[in-house]
């Protein structure tokens, strides 16, 4: 039988296989990059809401504390979104005829919930707990950014596993005094690492990195 291919075709065949395998690897790697990119995680994208609620006005402008509305953030895993009644404490009188607030008044009249769009949404195989973080000196702004400057709320951090672990490995880089947890203007002092190490001891913070901490 005559030979159809020259010897160099062998190398060619090997190269093709190599290229295919590494190409596949590249595609998977690119896929991972895309899946974890700020774009896919919807980082920094202000979300449309049924009522254009502005933290900038209510927190930055009026100085209302987070816990006036997010009342359960110190007590439970879940930081609640305020009930319509909470808005009506003020808006039964102020801006009481503004069309912008019609969904709030309608919800108050009918008892149906306002359907806020979730901004942060971890996958449901991840367990997260607000109370633990708040009581160990991790400030809202470390994870949520300058909420008091957001006309519409967006997600300021990537919320990838890498991001969580980065702090669980080195909590001393982020921990702050307990009375500053709700402050939006707190900036870490230049000696954060020393202060952090001291606070880590004082608040008995462990480095929790076993899988079952977050996947339970």
Contact pick of 80, 166, 183, 213 for another protein (by CB under 8 A): 80
Binding residue count for ligand HEC, defined by CB under 6 A: 75
Residue 132 interacts with ligand HEC (CB under 6 A): yes or no: yes
Contact map string, positions 24 to 43, toward ligand HEC, x by CB under 6 A: ------------x-------
Residues 14-33 that bind another protein (CB under 8 A): 17, 20, 24, 27-28, 31
* Helix boundaries (H) for the chain: 8-35, 55, 66-69, 84-91, 102-110, 130-135, 140-144, 161-169, 192-202, 211-214
What's the Cα-to-Cα distance from 42 to each of 38, 71, 75, 122, rounded to whole Å?
6, 26, 28, 12
> Which one of ligand HEC, another protein, none is in contact with 106 (Cβ closer than 5 to 8 A by kind)?
none
Q: What single-letter DSSP state applies at residue 152? A: S
Q: Is 60 left (phi over 0), alpha (psi -120 to 50) or beta?
A: alpha
DSSP structure string for 76-88: SSS-PPPPHHHHH
Residue 57 interacts with ligand HEC (CB under 6 A): yes or no: yes
Contact map string, positions 100 to 119, toward another protein, x by CB under 8 A: -----------xxx-x----
Nearer to another protein by C-beta: 64 or 119? Answer: 64
CB-CB contact of 214 with 127 (8 Å):
yes
Of the candidate spans 58-66, 130-138, 144-152, 200-208, the one that interacts with another protein by CB under 8 A turns out to be: 58-66
CB-CB contact of 94 with 88 (8 Å):
no
Contact pick of 19, 26, 90, 96 for ligand HEC (by CB under 6 A): 90
Residue 185 interacts with another protein (CB under 8 A): yes or no: no
CB-CB contact of 42 with 48 (8 Å):
no
Contact pick of 1, 3, 6, 124 for another protein (by CB under 8 A): 124
> Which one of another protein, ligand HEC, none is in contact with 63 (Cβ closer than 5 to 8 A by kind)?
another protein
């Amino acid at each position: 039988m005559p030979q159809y291919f020259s010897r160099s075709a062998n190398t060619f065949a090997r190269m093709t296989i190599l290229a295919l395998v590494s190409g596949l690897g590249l595609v998977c790697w690119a896929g991972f990059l895309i899946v974890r990119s700020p774009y896919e995680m919807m980082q920094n994208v202000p979300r449309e809401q049924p009522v254009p609620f502005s933290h900038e006005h209510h927190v930055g402008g009026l100085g209302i504390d987070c816990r006036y509305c997010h009342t359960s953030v110190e007590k439970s895993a879940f930081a609640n979104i305020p009930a319509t009644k909470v808005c009506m404490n003020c808006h039964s009188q102020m801006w009481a005829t503004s069309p912008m607030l019609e969904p709030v008044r309608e919800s108050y009249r009918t008892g149906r919930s306002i359907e806020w769009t979730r901004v942060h949404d971890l996958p449901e195989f991840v367990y997260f707990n607000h109370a633990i973080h708040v009581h160990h000196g991790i400030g809202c702004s470390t994870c949520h950014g300058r909420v008091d400057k957001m006309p519409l709320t967006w997600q300021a951090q990537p919320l990838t596993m890498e991001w969580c672990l980065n702090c669980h490995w080195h909590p001393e880089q982020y921990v702050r005094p307990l009375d500053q947890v709700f402050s939006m203007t707190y900036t870490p002092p230049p000696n954060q690492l020393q202060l952090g190490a001291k606070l880590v001891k004082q608040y008995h913070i462990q480095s929790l990195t076993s899988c079952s901490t977050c996947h339970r």
